[in-house]
Chains A and B, each alone.
Chain A
Amino acid sequence: MSRTEQSWKNDRVERAIGNLLRFGVLLSGAVVLAGLVIYLARYGAQTPHYRVFRGEPADLRSVGAVIRGGSTLGGRELIQFGLLLLMATPVARVVFSIVAFALERDGTYVAVTFVVLSALIYSLAGGYR
């Protein structure tokens, strides 16, 4: 492959990754903002207590529950769904990189990227301890 062709391809990949990241941040920001507005309309007058750590209830702490909660349009559920979208943005970037490296027939980096993806999936899936 000629050098110019290689850098043209890289250029395209870089632009696509840039757009993907920007889209993810904007989308999640919008969902979180919508959730915050609903949350404040309902609980805005109360003073929350964050001095004592209690941990979140089960419906706000696993990927499956957060996704199901997003459709209820409750304030806290919607915020949590937006935050999950934000966490998914780097994951989507990693998945996209696997495809890009595969198209370049770069087996080493396909493997490298798979290792990173498996770490992310392990962390998000929960089930440890």
Chain B
Amino acid sequence: MFTSIVWAGGLFAGFLGALTGLGGGVVIVPLLTLALGVDIRYAIGASLISVIATSSGAAAAYVKEGFTNLRIGMFLEMATTFGAILGAFLAGWISTGALAVIFGLVLLHSAWLSSRPRRDRSGDGAPDSITARLKMDGSYPTPEGPRFYRVHSVPAGFGWMFVAGGLSGLLGIGSGAVKVLAMDQAMRIPFKVSTTTSNFMIGVTAAASAGVYLNRGYIDPGVAAPVMLGVLIGSLAGARFLAGARTALLRKTFGVVVAALAIEMIYNGLKGRI
């Protein structure tokens, strides 16, 4: 019974996560802790597992399409993996109530970020000596043929990626919103490239903190198995649905749901009920 509820919750979380672009993790953790009373550390461990699964599944398709910039991804993974390990250690030291409050705040911020319209980066501008040395400039396919782009501000992007990795390890989420922020705002990478490269990095980042969670005993097979299978199927369905649906209204509706979950996490965390 518990297993089927968790599985259905994972299905729902994956679907919602794919539609809002926030990822399944941000929905499954509140669901497990608030609705099912699961300890937040088990919930975060299970969420990390589902994050690896969905990111790797989606990356498999994106990489073949040629949008993902493997060099940028690899370089920034140095920041996200070490951030993730630090975040995972922090998760073991601070109280569950504080974890819930931080989770709620990050969730609110991500929901707000994803609701804002985004303007695409043209990817031109002056050449940058660091990115030239690191061979990060690239091109991506468009209907009119390959389009070249330049990359900027590697140090700033690297710093943001360390933060993104830390949040991922602390809260068990993909931190896609912060990753895209780093690549979109700081490094001025075109939208299609930054979203797919961010997704590509999420799997390695989550694996770096999942190792710590496993060794600490936070990954429970009875919770993680139904979450992983549910979120994986839910997000695949969500991605397919997304391709055919008019999404503006859906995104707005689910954005409200996510914000409500965030506020409830903060409230319960402050009350010491989590």
Residues of B96-129 whose CB lies within 8 A of A: 96
Among candidates A19, A80, A127, residue contacting B221 with C-beta atoms closer than 8 Å? A80
Count, chain A residues at interface, CB 8 A: 68
| A83 and B221 within 8 A (CB) | yes
Main secondary structure on A side of the interface with B: helix
In this assembly, does B37 line the interface, its C-beta being within 8 Å of a C-beta of chain A?
yes
B209 → chain A closest CB, angstroms: 7
| B81 and A119 within 8 A (CB) | yes
| Cα separation A10 to B70 with both chains bound (whole Å) | 9
Main secondary structure on B side of the interface with A: helix
| A116 contact set on B, CB distance < 8 A | 74, 77-78, 81, 204
Residues of A65-98 whose CB lies within 8 A of B: 66, 75-77, 79-80, 82-84, 86-87, 89-91, 93-94, 97
| A57 contact set on B, CB distance < 8 A | 217
| Cα separation A21 to B70 with both chains bound (whole Å) | 14
| B2 contact set on A, CB distance < 8 A | 47-48
Question: Which residue of chain A has its CB nearest to the CB of B222?
Answer: A48
Residues of B28-74 whose CB lies within 8 A of A: 36-39, 41-42, 49, 52-53, 56-57, 59-61, 63-64, 66, 68, 70-71, 74
Interface size class of B (residues with CB under 8 A): 35 or more
Among candidates B36, B82, B96, B217, residue contacting A60 with C-beta atoms closer than 8 Å? B217
- List residues of B whose CB falls within 8 A of some A CB: 1-3, 36-39, 41-42, 49, 52-53, 56-57, 59-61, 63-64, 66, 68, 70-71, 74-75, 77-78, 81-82, 84-85, 88-89, 96, 133-135, 203-204, 206-212, 214-226, 228-229, 232
- List residues of A whose CB falls within 8 A of some B CB: 10-11, 13-15, 17-19, 21-22, 24-25, 28-29, 32-33, 35-36, 39-40, 43-44, 47-48, 50-53, 55-57, 60-63, 66, 75-77, 79-80, 82-84, 86-87, 89-91, 93-94, 97, 106, 108-109, 112-113, 115-116, 119-120, 122-128
